[in-house]
Structure 1
Amino acid sequence: MTKFYAILSRLMICLIGVASSLGTANQSNESITSQAKKLDQALISRIIDNRLVYCANGVFHTFNPQQSAKGIAIDIIGPQLYNRLIRSNESLTDFLPEIAKRWEVSEDKLSVTFYLNEGIPFHTTPYFKPSRTLIADDVIFSFDRLINSNNPFYQNHFFPYFQAINLKARIRSIEKLDDYSVRFNLYHPDQSFLSHLGSYYSPILSAEYAQQLKANNSIDQFDKKPIGTGAFKLDSYLVDEYIRLIRHPYAWQIPKLNDRMFEQVIIELSSSGVGRLSKLLSNECDMLAYPAAAQLATIDKQHRLNRLERLTFGTAFLSFNTQKYPLNDPAIRNAVAFAINNPRLMQSIYLDTAETASAFLPSYHWAFDPSIQITHYVPEQSKHILKEKGLENISLTLRVSSNPEPFNPSPIKMAELIQSDLAAVGIDVKIIVHDGQYRPSYFDTHSVDLELTGWNAPNADPDTFLRPVLSCDAIGARTNHSNWCNPVFDGYLDKANMTDDFLLRKAYYQKAQQLLANELPILPLAYSRNMLVYDKSITNTHSLTQGNFSFMKLERYREKN
């Protein structure tokens, strides 16, 4: 990015110099050059002030959140490019209107009708010029492609989140009542249905754009060249370097723009770890998320930087491959769990930015079961179990992402600490590092014993926690890395979804958690907080919430000299 602006600067000096020499032949070369430099600096300053550079963590692989399980598409891209029917409020416990201005659930709980805002424009780009605004057809298309195998935009695509929650088994049909009313008919009452529609996994796409690509035999471009209704639209993308988004001039959620709002967002993809922090410190980027705990002291010394911390519904955990010997035995899974020094992980990885996990759902979640206490560091008990099983010297593989994640700012370091803990009880661990990119084929294997991963639920509904990570359907979606399938567990989730009795729902979810504690397909490690570090010149950061991470209202404030 620095190289780009250096080139732009030199080019502008040349152009202004030529123009000046043609217009005022009697002016000295020195005066012309001085004038050009002043004009150039003003232009460059204007460009810099009106662009937000976000140093991303992780690997980019799709613009469409429907095709992602976690990562940049969910955390950053989706909120800028797209809108949903509804969105979560700041606490992630309720819903607010977005594309839908209101909605109604039928008395029998078998249908949900959404009434849409009128006049919502799609992006206009060199590759698509919409002839109309958003209507019910777009809503129907956006979900039909997820559940209808005859839809050409379903074929040869993978939708991990929706396959994990088995959306097909939830929606009986979707019908258009008129251009601005659409009804979802369900197979059974579903208390979590709105929670899934209110997540960033559920953007509303353009049916007209899809038809254009189909007519041109270019269906494969649909998710590569995105069209949404969000505050920003795609301008350019350079693989492994950056994504440039520019302001959608007709963004419906901001009726009036001001000159302090950002005209473009640049998502910088070329750096990770220390490189991201270096760019932040050298003013090459304005914002980054999930810094390592070891970097916080350096960050806090910088008077021009601010930190924004929020509690999330995120849990870091160690996933056991329950289909592979010896971890198919719950006793061995417990032996591994007893060997891990969680207090050391808290201190070394998180400092004061996370809480030790005692169960899968965070302790501040409404369905949390305080009677469950999974995380205990008892290495002698681990050795005893292994000796009793005749497995005093075993070897395991541990797969881990190289990139920071919302629930784990230093995954490789955590893997190395776990490797050290397990070595102390006689378990040799080989660490396998991957880049964090979601590839269905990559996880289509039972060869790995352990996976250091986690889950950041889109809202407070327990179904968005438990089903995508631990249900039987989630194995096929490659989001259940434990390969654990228990119909009793799935049954508890189904029963909780079909009742509107709050206490009964809570009881079913707590039974599900007790089953997890007994069988231990995953070992919860930490309840994380999301952390964002940004330049103090950026204002309106209160608009960034877990339910709405769009940069549309951010501004840059510069003090006058």
Structure 2
Amino acid sequence: MNKKAWLLFFVLLLTVSTALFGCSSDDGASEDGGDGGTSEEGGSDAEDTLVFGRGGDSVGLDPITVTDGESFKVTKNVFETLIEFGKEDTEVNPGLAAEWDVSEDGLTYTFTLQEGVTFHDGEAFNADAVVYNFERWASGTEDKFYYYKSMFGGFGDDEGHVIESVTATDDMTVEIKLKRPQAPFLKNLAMSPFGIASPKALDEMGDDEFNENPVGTGPFKFVEWRRNERIVLEKFEDYWQEGLPKLNQVIFRSIPENSARLNALTSGEIDLADGVNPSDSAQVEGNDNLQLFERPSMNVGYLGLTTTREPFDDPKVRQAMNHAINRQAIVDAFFEGRAEVAKNPIPPVIAGYNDDIEGYEYDVDRAKELLEEAGLGDGFEMDLWAMPVPRPYMPDGQKVAEAIQNDLAAVGITANIVTNEWATYLDKARLGEADAFLLGWTGDNGDADNFLYVLLDQDNIGSNNYTYYENQDLHDLLIEARSEVDEDKRNQLYMEAQEIIHEDAPWVPLAHSTPLMAGSANLKDFVAHPTGSDNLMDAYFE
């Protein structure tokens, strides 16, 4: 072959190679994350892609099946609810329901739905889709749809189930009838677990496959999930709110270490970092290329004591644990002034908070006295479970566990620190397999019911009540409070409930934190929501 022929062959080969390289996969995402211009490491080199660094992976992507914040970070942007919270608060606003009407007796809610909404699979959103989702949730079980039972009191024909019927009265109108009034009903509907899913996708895929390939109506549609590495979402071109979302792609990257996540932000590998250590806030504020975000405090971090496991079935032992742990020292050491010591299971910003309760003082001698009264004057050995991922209510679970371990040793308790992968940790703790476990809660809807009933009522043992704590007097108060529409009376009931919980001491409440995030300085219109589930449809790069 002569020189000209070789040159012609080379040019042809280069042209074909370029054309092949430019082809994308069927789902529009290339192997490295696709159209947003991301590298294999996950950093962005285009202003239409947001890379969100977080401490752990999602447990699942079907919102009704999960309870963890890492899952809701993603599902919040894939699914929408009938009611939406405000951009910066938990006030109720129109969502997939454009408007609603409530009967005078508080038992009938009529929702008029938004027109022109479609699911990511092209199916129309309508009243039948809403009914389908409610019927699916109501036919579940507590080991599958944890939040549904917690929020609505049960399933199907259960006596406690507050929902009597959900009916499509026409193509765009849904009527929900309740068996009894439920004061936080609208706020409950706005919670992330109740995102409306595509009936067609659920029918075609089934629950397990749908959990890996979610289909909603939200501003971003699901593209890819590499477990413990990243989740890729891309702009839904047919999204019903004009001009939104502003980003073309969002990538959630799992970076377990807080310091490594901040380094990735500083180097430009990611654009937004969750779980910034309070001790690193000055570093962020001193960097002109970064900005610091404070998430409004609506949380509690706690040490849960499984009340069905010896010796924590004895209230005196649980009270001793409360006296033995130096909460102020933990807050000072690990929260850098961005938290306050907790004494109740709900944060002070929640209506019904009982500030008259006197918290357990750090008192080694009193702790020893209580252990002596419980027949454990020589102490005992236990397992102390430490979270493997940073959470908004506890930036470093391992270090907090070590501090608690030292405190307990001073009263004769030997605590062996145990941990598991995050999803396993949650599942085993939920099943009551831990002696004591570090955990916490970020409020879903700004209501006391979402803390006290969800986390500590006997109805929710095996779902969100990980301590297996039960008290009939508490249960009666919480059920009454759920149905009471007079806010003053509700608040009084919740204050009484906190007195019972304080005495029984199923938790050692530790801290109410102000969680920190950091982002690139050119990231605009991002708001850290108090629920911990951030809607990214307004965010963009300047």
- TM-score > 0.5, shorter chain as reference: yes
The question of whether the paired residues in 1 share the 8 Å contact of 2:56 and 2:255 is answered with no
The question of whether the paired residues in 2 share the 8 Å contact of 1:342 and 1:375 is answered with no
1:441 to 1:293, Cα distance in 2 relative to 1, 3 A: closer
Instruction: Report the Cα distance in structure 2 between the residues aligned to 1:122 and 1:486, rounded to whole angstroms.
Output: 44
2:211 to 223, 230, 234: 223
Instruction: Report the Cα distance in structure 1 between the residues aligned to 2:192 and 2:219, rounded to whole angstroms.
Output: 15
Instruction: Report the Cα distance in structure 2 between the residues aligned to 1:237 and 1:337, rounded to whole angstroms.
Output: 41
1:230 maps to amino acid? G
Equivalent residue, structure 1, for 2:362: 377
Instruction: Report the Cα distance in structure 2 between the residues aligned to 1:119 and 1:502, rounded to whole angstroms.
Output: 37
SS at match of 1:201: helix
Instruction: Report the Cα distance in structure 2 between the residues aligned to 1:550 and 1:222, rounded to whole angstroms.
Output: 21
2:533 matches 1:535: no
Which one is further off, 536-545 or 409-418? 536-545
Which one is further off, 272-281 or 452-461? 272-281
2:511 to 514, 517, 526: 526
2:442 matches 1:456: yes
Give the drift of 1:276.
1.4
SS at match of 2:332: helix
Give the 4+ runs in structure 1 shifted more than 6 A: 14-17, 42-46
Equivalent residue, structure 2, for 1:466: 452
Instruction: Report the Cα distance in structure 1 between the residues aligned to 2:288 and 2:112, rounded to whole angstroms.
Output: 47
SS at match of 1:312: coil
1:551 maps to amino acid? L
1:412 to 1:141, Cα distance in 2 relative to 1, 3 A: same
Equivalent residue, structure 2, for 1:199: 191
Give the drift of 1:89.
2.3
1:135 to 1:303, Cα distance in 2 relative to 1, 3 A: same
Question: After the TM superposition, which residues 145-294 of structure 1 pair with which residues of structure 2 at under 5 Å, given as runs?
Answer: 145-148=136-139, 154=140, 158-165=144-151, 166-168=153-155, 169-213=161-205, 218-253=206-241, 255-256=242-243, 261-294=246-279
SS at match of 1:277: helix
The question of whether the paired residues in 1 share the 8 Å contact of 2:169 and 2:175 is answered with yes
1:86 maps to amino acid? I
Equivalent residue, structure 1, for 2:401: 415
1:359 to 1:43, Cα distance in 2 relative to 1, 3 A: closer
2:60 matches 1:68: no
Superposition CA RMSD, Å: 2.7
Deviation per residue, 1:498-527 (Å, 9 max, x gap): 221111111111111111011111121111
2:347 matches 1:362: yes
Instruction: Report the Cα distance in structure 2 between the residues aligned to 1:298 and 1:66, rounded to whole angstroms.
Output: 38
The question of whether the paired residues in 2 share the 8 Å contact of 1:468 and 1:480 is answered with yes
The question of whether the paired residues in 1 share the 8 Å contact of 2:284 and 2:290 is answered with yes
Deviation per residue, 1:11-35 (Å, 9 max, x gap): xxx999934999xxxxxxxxxxxxx
The question of whether the paired residues in 2 share the 8 Å contact of 1:247 and 1:262 is answered with yes
SS at match of 2:503: helix
Unaligned runs of 5+ in 1: 1-13, 23-41, 125-129, 149-153
2:329 to 344, 350, 353: 344
Give the drift of 1:419.
0.4
Instruction: Report the Cα distance in structure 1 between the residues aligned to 2:256 and 2:367, rounded to whole angstroms.
Output: 39
1:156 to 1:397, Cα distance in 2 relative to 1, 3 A: closer
1:545 to 1:393, Cα distance in 2 relative to 1, 3 A: closer
Instruction: Report the Cα distance in structure 2 between the residues aligned to 1:179 and 1:47, rounded to whole angstroms.
Output: 44
Equivalent residue, structure 1, for 2:6: none
1:71 maps to amino acid? G
Equivalent residue, structure 1, for 2:380: 394
2:127 matches 1:144: no
SS at match of 1:493: helix
Equivalent residue, structure 1, for 2:537: 552
SS at match of 1:244: strand
2:492 matches 1:504: no
Instruction: Report the Cα distance in structure 1 between the residues aligned to 2:11 and 2:172, rounded to whole angstroms.
Output: 51
Instruction: Report the Cα distance in structure 2 between the residues aligned to 1:533 and 1:375, rounded to whole angstroms.
Output: 34
Instruction: Report the Cα distance in structure 2 between the residues aligned to 1:277 and 1:307, rounded to whole angstroms.
Output: 11
Give the drift of 1:297.
3.4
Q: Percent identity?
A: 27
Unaligned runs of 5+ in 2: 1-9, 19-36, 156-160
Give the drift of 1:173.
1.2
Instruction: Report the Cα distance in structure 2 between the residues aligned to 1:107 and 1:156, rounded to whole angstroms.
Output: 32
2:14 to 11, 18, 21: 18
Give the drift of 1:545.
6.1
SS at match of 1:302: coil
1:88 maps to amino acid? F
Instruction: Report the Cα distance in structure 2 between the residues aligned to 1:155 and 1:389, rounded to whole angstroms.
Output: 38
SS at match of 2:493: helix
1:376 to 1:61, Cα distance in 2 relative to 1, 3 A: same
Equivalent residue, structure 2, for 1:133: 124
Instruction: Report the Cα distance in structure 2 between the residues aligned to 1:289 and 1:95, rounded to whole angstroms.
Output: 26
Question: After the TM superposition, which residues 24-63 of structure 1 pair with which residues of structure 2 at under 5 Å, given as runs?
Answer: 48-63=46-61
Equivalent residue, structure 2, for 1:32: none
Instruction: Report the Cα distance in structure 2 between the residues aligned to 1:458 and 1:244, rounded to whole angstroms.
Output: 24
Deviation per residue, 1:324-359 (Å, 9 max, x gap): 222111111111111111111111111121111121
1:105 maps to amino acid? V
1:337 maps to amino acid? N
Instruction: Report the Cα distance in structure 2 between the residues aligned to 1:190 and 1:408, rounded to whole angstroms.
Output: 32
1:339 to 1:404, Cα distance in 2 relative to 1, 3 A: same
1:87 maps to amino acid? E
2:125 maps to amino acid? L
Deviation per residue, 1:401-444 (Å, 9 max, x gap): 11011211111110110001111111110111122216775236
SS at match of 2:321: helix
How many residue pairs match? The answer is: 506
1:69 to 1:359, Cα distance in 2 relative to 1, 3 A: same
The question of whether the paired residues in 1 share the 8 Å contact of 2:62 and 2:210 is answered with no
The question of whether the paired residues in 2 share the 8 Å contact of 1:354 and 1:529 is answered with yes
The question of whether the paired residues in 2 share the 8 Å contact of 1:195 and 1:464 is answered with no
Instruction: Report the Cα distance in structure 1 between the residues aligned to 2:179 and 2:440, rounded to whole angstroms.
Output: 31
Instruction: Report the Cα distance in structure 1 between the residues aligned to 2:304 and 2:88, rounded to whole angstroms.
Output: 28
2:114 maps to amino acid? N
Instruction: Report the Cα distance in structure 1 between the residues aligned to 2:17 and 2:356, rounded to whole angstroms.
Output: 81
Give the TM-score normalised by structure 1. Answer: 0.85
The question of whether the paired residues in 1 share the 8 Å contact of 2:87 and 2:527 is answered with no
SS at match of 2:419: strand
Equivalent residue, structure 2, for 1:151: none
